[in-house]
Amino acid sequence: MDKVLEALKNRVDQAEIYRRRAKTIPIEFRSGKLESIKSKETEGIALRVIANGRLGFSTTTDMADPSVLSEAAIAAAAFGEEAEFSFSSDSPTSIDGVYDKKIVDLSEEALIELGKKVVADLRAADTQVDINLSLTKTVEAVTIRNTSGLDVEEERTRIGLSAEVGKTSEGDIFVLFDEQEVRAMSDLDPDRLVKRIVDFLRYGRKIVSAESKKLPVVFTPNGTIALLLPLMVGFNGKSVYMGTSPLKGRIGERAFDPRFSLTDDGTIPRAPRSSAFDDEGTSSSRTPLVSQGTIEGFTYDLWTAALAKAAPTGNGYKGGLLGGGGFRTPPNIGVSNVIVAAGDKSEDEIISSIEEGLLVESVLGLGQGNLASGEFSNNVAVAFKIEDGKIVGRVKNTMIAGNSYELLKDNLIALGNSPTWALGAVNTPLIAVNGVSVIGQ
């Protein structure tokens, strides 16, 4: 890496090398039986250069001949976008909980036994279901160096557990999905995953209809993505700078219910997306976005922070908004850990307060609707009817639509008091809102 940077000093304005080495062990169960177990090791380098004020990017897995990487990045810069920023000269400090020796030492045999237990627990609840399960152990090291003097490296671990449970009958396919991703082995809770799926299987035995009208909707932590995705887009500093976000120029304004607070925080110990630095080498930080209903700030990577004349917030991630791009994609603004502050109502209290409404666990077609304005419009994948404060059955062929900003400002019913991690990056309680358009058949 040092030789590449040294060779580029006289050829480009700036250069940055990102290197990722990872060992993953994915284990797959199909129809309840062990199907495959693999061990994969990957190593890749991404190079960004700024040459004549323009940005170039290239990647390689060939560590033997880095000259090809350099020439490709320089060639790309000739047609690249203008880059009025400098690569990071930050000095990130390490944070707790991104590396767990227990995960490193976890054997393939132990992973298989864990998978078998989860399958057996799900099968015990319902012998008729089809069970697909995945377990993935990842141990990785990320290194970033650049011509601004940055030289950082961090080792990280994580375990991912996901289960898909399906039940088929004449004219009906009912599929449930849940997952967990943790940095530390002690945070993995397969019993909670099993309980959630078993509870929803029980709720879904009876199919009921939903009328087309505006109703209260209780979003489970998994279901909140319908509400929160427009906010992730709206608080993105690039959207704000470009004027496509309705939040531009509104810092200090109370735009949400006073009970609603939202934070992007990459420094939480053992949280799924915590790290000492982002994929540009900028120190991770805690960025309040909404505090008791009032807009506090936005997320920025290096590029957009320079354009907006704002401080970078450590939100430059490969793969964009929700990350996951590996080393082959350039960094862009993404979320770290999205935190919705808990409320004061239990799940039972919230559901019992609803005379008629829906409990939404998952939706289809993320990104539909005009996200820039806060609108969402999704078919529900898994949702249940609430009548007189009780869950009475599962609804099918139903769509929900609304505007997140309006619902979370004037129509917030309650926030749950037991937040959980969902969707790999979001820590949120149940969110209940009124006035959601429900279109049923």
User: Are the beta carbons of 232 and 287 closer than 8 angstroms?
Assistant: no
**pLDDT of 367:** 67
User: Are the beta carbons of 430 and 219 closer than 8 angstroms?
Assistant: yes
b/e sequence 335-373, b meaning 16+ C-beta within 10 Å: bbbbbbbbbebebeebbebbeebbbbbbbeeeebbebbe
Considering the chain, tell me which residue range(s) the CATH 3.30.2290.10 domain(s) occupy: 2-202
**pLDDT of 281:** 96
**pLDDT of 423:** 85
User: Are the beta carbons of 230 and 237 closer than 8 angstroms?
Assistant: no
Q: Is 293 helix (H, G, I), strand (E, B) or coil?
A: coil
**pLDDT of 191:** 97
Work out whether the CA dihedral 82, 85, 86, 92 comes out positive or negative: negative
Amino acid type, 165: V
Q: What's the rounded Cα separation, in Å, for the pair 325 and 331?
A: 9
- The set of residues, in sequence order, having a beta carbon less than 8 Å from that of 171 and lying 6+ positions away, is none
pTM for this predicted structure? 0.95
**pLDDT of 441:** 73
pLDDT for 398-431, tens place per residue?
999 999 999 999 999 999 999 999 988 899 999 9
Which residue positions in the chain have pLDDT lower than 70?
Answer: 367
b/e sequence 259-288, b meaning 16+ C-beta within 10 Å: ebbbbbbbbbeebbbbbbbbbbbbbbbebe
Phi, psi of 131 (to 5 degrees): -120, 125
Q: What's the rounded Cα separation, in Å, for the pair 254 and 296?
A: 9
User: Are the beta carbons of 66 and 3 closer than 8 angstroms?
Assistant: yes
Distances (CA, A) of 153 to 13, 279, 325: 23, 11, 19
User: What tokens appear for 418 in the block?
Assistant: 């037991």
Q: Which helix (H) or strand (E) holds 401?
A: strand 399-403
User: Are the beta carbons of 262 and 290 closer than 8 angstroms?
Assistant: yes
**pLDDT of 366:** 75
CATH of domain 2-202: 3.30.2290.10
